[in-house]
Amino acid sequence: MRRRITVDSATILNKGLEIIEACRLFNVPPCKVRVTVHPQSTVHSLVEYIDGSIVAQISVTDMRLPILYALAYPERPASNLTFDLAALRHLDFEEPDFQRFPCLRLAYEAAEKGGAHCIALNAADEVAVAAFLSRRIPFTGIPDTIERVLASTPVAHPGTIAEVLAVDRQARQNAAELVK
């Protein structure tokens, strides 16, 4: 799993999956969920309120912190993971470049269509990343594979686990054929 997360971070598909998650958890349309590129990786989330104020979650770049929070929720136990605010010289934020990061564009498109497209996005990514890691496709083959699988995925909103698994299985088969 660790290697896939590294590749998904490089393609920014990890953020795309978070877009889909935010849309479902908070019942908001994809156009209301924005990704902003932050090279320092110290601001982990921002929430903008209706009055225009923004609350930021800033911490060390270490997955142990969100894991600790998830395991201890709602408590906030002490940890040795500290952030030196004085070491932070500046914060840079940029709009994402969808040409440079086509997987993010594909995630927004899947989130907009919903249902089967979100399932197919994840399934195709898993197959494509595995093919990249085994050197069967180039890095650029990842978004190409995902895009082709999404293009062949019918608009549908599975209502049962069996239907979800069928969409996943079909997307994986389509992706596997593409990466041969």
Tokens found for residue 85:
């605010």
For the chain, the domain total comes to 1
Q: Which residue has the higher pLDDT, 42 or 177?
A: 177
Range of the domain at 171: 2-37+95-178
Residue 158 falls in which region: left (phi positive, over 0), alpha (psi -120 to 50) or beta: beta
CATH code assigned at 160: 1.10.1740.10
Residue 150 lies in a domain: yes
Q: Are 166 and 126 in contact (CB under 8 A)?
A: no
Residue 53 lies in a domain: no
Residue 158 lies in a domain: yes
pLDDT value at position 135? Answer: 97
- Rounded to whole angstroms, the Cα distance separating 9 from 16 reads 10
pTM above 0.85, yes or no: no
Angle, helices 13-26 vs 102-113, to 10°: value is 20
Whole-number Cα distances in Å, 38 to 15, 76, 136? 12, 26, 31
Bridge partners of 94? 37
Residue 86 lies in a domain: no
pLDDT in tens, 99-108: 999 999 999 9
Residue 78 lies in a domain: no
* The one-letter amino acid at 121: L
Residue 119 lies in a domain: yes
pLDDT value at position 45? Answer: 83
Q: What is the mean pLDDT of the chain?
A: 93
